[in-house]
Amino acid sequence: MELYQEITEVYEKACLIEPYEETLHLYFIQALIELGDVKGALSHYNYITSLLYKELGVKPSAAMRSLYRQIQQAMVDNHETNLILIEKKLTDDDDMDGALYCDIDYFRFLYQLERRKSLRKDRDSPGFLGLITVSETKQPLTDSVAKVVMKDLIHILQLYLRRGDVFSLWNQTQILLLLSVQQRIDIDTIARRLYNRFQEITSHVQVKVDIRFEPLSHENSFLT
């Protein structure tokens, strides 16, 4: 135990010199686990993995993930499994950048969940359901052109929509959106921004885009 206590003391000094050196943090977290400070180990794991990703764009290494599994096991052994640990497991693979692009089945599930919320009397704003349709202008829209255009559109949505927004392919030329926007004026601004950006990127292709939004309510039943 004295060895691990010494490691924690050395870490505090070494970290002032090399704050981004992962090896130091690996030894420190391991020492905390061995000293029985599992909550401290989890707290420091969350701190350093967030710091390294934010400052350097570095995701947890194999060694760091291995330590996290040790923390999980230690918490189970100590009967300390809690919501913080469960939440960490649920969000391990979620980078939380931009809107969520998902398949239609998952979109349907989220839509139905939001639709149920919209029935509550205390719900101020249920959000908006949107539909983006791409179509030809002068020439028929071929499959190859449609794939390229939809790929560009998906990229635009990932860049310009916010966290908490969700979208999914409805078919080859349509995309469904679920936006957590409170005011109609806000949704109109978003629609104009998406439309203008789409026109810029696809100016070399003879296509047009139609963007429509409606407040989410029990009347939007085509996905149920």
Q: Which tens digits make up the pLDDT trace of 119-128? A: 765 555 668 8
**From residue 183, how far is each of 62, 135, 188 by CA, in Å?**
45, 28, 9
Residue with the larger pLDDT of the pair 204 and 48: 48
Residue 20 has pLDDT above 80, yes or no: yes
Considering Cα of 129, then 134, then 137, then 141, what sign does the dihedral take? negative
Q: Which tens digits make up the pLDDT trace of 131-188? A: 999 887 777 778 888 888 889 899 899 888 888 899 999 998 899 999 887 677 788 8
Question: Does any domain span residue 185?
Answer: yes
Backbone angles phi, psi at 209, to 5 degrees: -130, 140
Q: What is the pLDDT of residue 87?
A: 65
Q: What is the pLDDT of residue 177?
A: 93
**From residue 147, how far is each of 143, 160, 200, 202 by CA, in Å?**
6, 20, 17, 12
Structural domains counted in the chain: 2
Question: Does any domain span residue 128?
Answer: yes
Find the CATH number of the domain harbouring 185. 3.30.70.270
Q: What is the pLDDT of residue 217?
A: 67
In this prediction, residue 203 has a pLDDT band, given cuts at 50, 70 and 90, of: confident
- Kindly state whether residues 210 and 108 are assigned to the same domain: yes
Q: What is the pLDDT of residue 166?
A: 92
- Kindly state whether residues 79 and 169 are assigned to the same domain: no
**From residue 117, how far is each of 56, 64, 110, 111, 122 by CA, in Å?**
39, 39, 11, 10, 9
- Which tokens in the block code for residue 28? 């420190």
Q: Give the start-end residues of each E strand in the chain.
A: 100-101, 128-136, 166-171, 174-179, 207-215
Q: Which of 90, 120, 143 represents a domain boundary (last residue)?
A: 90
How far is Cα 62 from Cα 58, in angstroms, rounded to an integer? 12
Question: Does any domain span residue 95?
Answer: no
Domain that holds residue 72: 2-90
- Kindly state whether residues 111 and 146 are assigned to the same domain: yes
- Kindly state whether residues 138 and 63 are assigned to the same domain: no
